[in-house]
Amino acid sequence: PVTLDSLAERTGRYYGSAVDNSELDDTAYADLLGTEFGSTTPGNGMKWYATEPQRGVFDFTAGDEIVAYAQAHKLKVRGHTLVWHSQLPGWLENGTWSARELRAILKKHITAEVRHYKGKVFAWDVANEIMNEDGTYRENIFYKTLGPGYIADALRWAHAADPGVKLYLNDYNVEGIGAKSDAYYTLIKQLKADGVPIDGFGMQAHLALQYGFPNDMKGNIQRFADLGLDVAITELDIRMILPSDAAKLAQQADWYGQVTKACLAVRRCVGITLWGYSDRHSWIPPVFEGQGAALPWDENLRRKPAYDAIAHALATA
């Protein structure tokens, strides 16, 4: 059957969707995930709060469940995420740590998790959302205690634990050229010059119709590829102010097509992942009141115009 992933595969790329553990119980949803897509990302299951709920006590149950589902359906898995300011376990967030202690905690966490998933994930979002909108470093617990060197250290520790896995930095609002993506460009160029292992840059692509399409997305993907990196669209969704109507759905379809074409225009843009594929399960409505309808399938798992736009862009590449 023709699927988004089979169309993407013809271009040497994958097409994926994130999934949360609870969504695997929705069998219609899980079945379509398993047939339409070639890659998945755990929405929450590999985050720090889930994987090291107590200091030094690791629990890979949630991530393992998604890996098992993926293997049974021949999906590859993107690991998400090792270092992030959000969804940290209470013991870590509420503790007071010296630089020496926090460095040891970070190294142990990264090493244990990357070793556990060695050979099971093809890529890791090693550090997630480390920049502010103005291109300064986000003052998360790691930055405040360790300084910006924690990023290179995290990449080195991840590489030591699995030399074969692709290592990414990942963020939102970096799809277009601007202060935030410029900061990543400068950082990654420096990391490369310093011999730090980094393979890819992840553009989350949580877009919203009311804010306009990212500025020169194709050129932006290209400049990161020109640094010798893979680029991936990692968390794509395109929300709108509800209710949806035919005009908004048409604009959304156009944007999904544009994102697909921007990726396909750059050889090293390796794949696209939706942050969930249907409006039935989406992180958006509870977070952005009055917004949603962001995915290419509706609440009833019916294809929206966005699906056809993606399929058309892939098929005509």
Binding site for ligand G3I (CB under 6 A): 20, 43-44, 86-87, 128, 204, 235, 283
Minimal distance in Å, beta carbon 167 to ligand G3I? Answer: 17
Q: Which is nearer to ligand G3I, 275 or 307 (CB)?
A: 275
Q: Residue 1, class by beta-carbon neighbours within 10 Å (0-12 exposed, 13-18 middle, 19+ buried)?
A: exposed
Closest contact distance (angstroms) between CB of 100 and ligand G3I is 29
State in angstroms the smallest separation of the CB of 53 from ligand G3I. 12
Cβ closest to ligand G3I, residue 87 vs residue 186? 87
* 87/316 with CB nearer ligand G3I: 87
Q: How distant, in Å, are the alpha carbons of 45, 46, 82, 186 from that of 42?
A: 5, 6, 12, 29
CA–chain centroid gap for 21, Å, is 16
Mark whether 235 is an active-site residue. yes
Go through the chain and tell me how many residues it has.
317
The full 3-state SS of 171-218, as one line of letters, equals ECCCCCCCHHHHHHHHHHHHHHHCCCCCCEEEECCEEEHHHCCCCCHH
By beta-carbon proximity to ligand G3I, the closer residue of 9 and 143 is 143
CA 212/CA 303 separation, integer angstroms? 24
Q: Which two structure tokens, joined as six digits, stand for 170?
A: 């990942």
Give the CB-nearest residue to ligand G3I. Answer: 283
Report, in Å, the least distance between residue 231 CB and ligand G3I. Answer: 17
Active-site position among 36, 113, 175, 235 = 235
Q: Is the dihedral of CA 312, 34, 295, 181 positive or negative?
A: negative
- Residues classed as catalytic: 235
